[in-house]
Amino acid sequence: MNLEPEISFSASRSSGPGGQNVNKVNTRIIARLDVMASQILSEKQKSTLVHKLKNRINKEGELIIACEETRSQLRNKEMAIELLHQLIAQALKPATKRKPTQPTRSSKLKRLQNKKIRSQRKENRRRPDV
């Protein structure tokens, strides 16, 4: 799904090394996606995203991604879009169902042996019958 029309971008000065480039050029990109106002996502997808990405969504319901890894604003924008798509895809991926397995024969035997040893130990604590 193409969410790019619904993503708003803003640029600011990046932190870290880079000399004059860092001081002059706004290379840091902040991508914002208003999850609840999205026309592309269904209601079920919206609620799933809000639940699974609650730590990344602010009070206004915006999913915010910041990228300042490269010295290029365009490359940071592409990386922010990619990260946003990955986050959404990961959150919307259905959880795999757990297949219940039967205990193995050896684990059953081990459990019964331990049970026998425990009962024997407790039986030995009793007073002998005379």
Residue 15 structure tokens: 């932190």
pLDDT at 21 over 80: no
Res 95: pLDDT: 87
Tell me the per-residue pLDDT of 38-77, one tens digit each, with 9 for 90 and over: 888 899 999 999 999 989 899 988 999 999 888 888 999 9
- Domains in the chain, please, with CATH? 4-92 (3.30.160.20)
Residue 106, exposed/middle/buried by CB under 10 A (0-12, 13-18, 19+)? exposed
Distance from C-alpha of 2 to C-alpha of 85, rounded to nearest angstrom: 9
pTM of the model: 0.69
Distance from C-alpha of 61 to C-alpha of 92, rounded to nearest angstrom: 17
Indicate the pLDDT class of residue 83, thresholds 50, 70 and 90. Answer: very high
pLDDT at 6 over 80: yes
Of residues 21, 22, 32, 44, the one with CA closest to residue 92? 44
Q: How many residues belong to the chain?
A: 130
Q: What is the mean pLDDT of residues 87-101?
A: 92
6 compared with 19, residue with greater pLDDT:
6
Question: Coil, strand, or helix at residue 11?
Answer: strand
Mean model confidence pLDDT for the chain: 90
Q: What is the mean pLDDT of residues 100-123?
A: 96
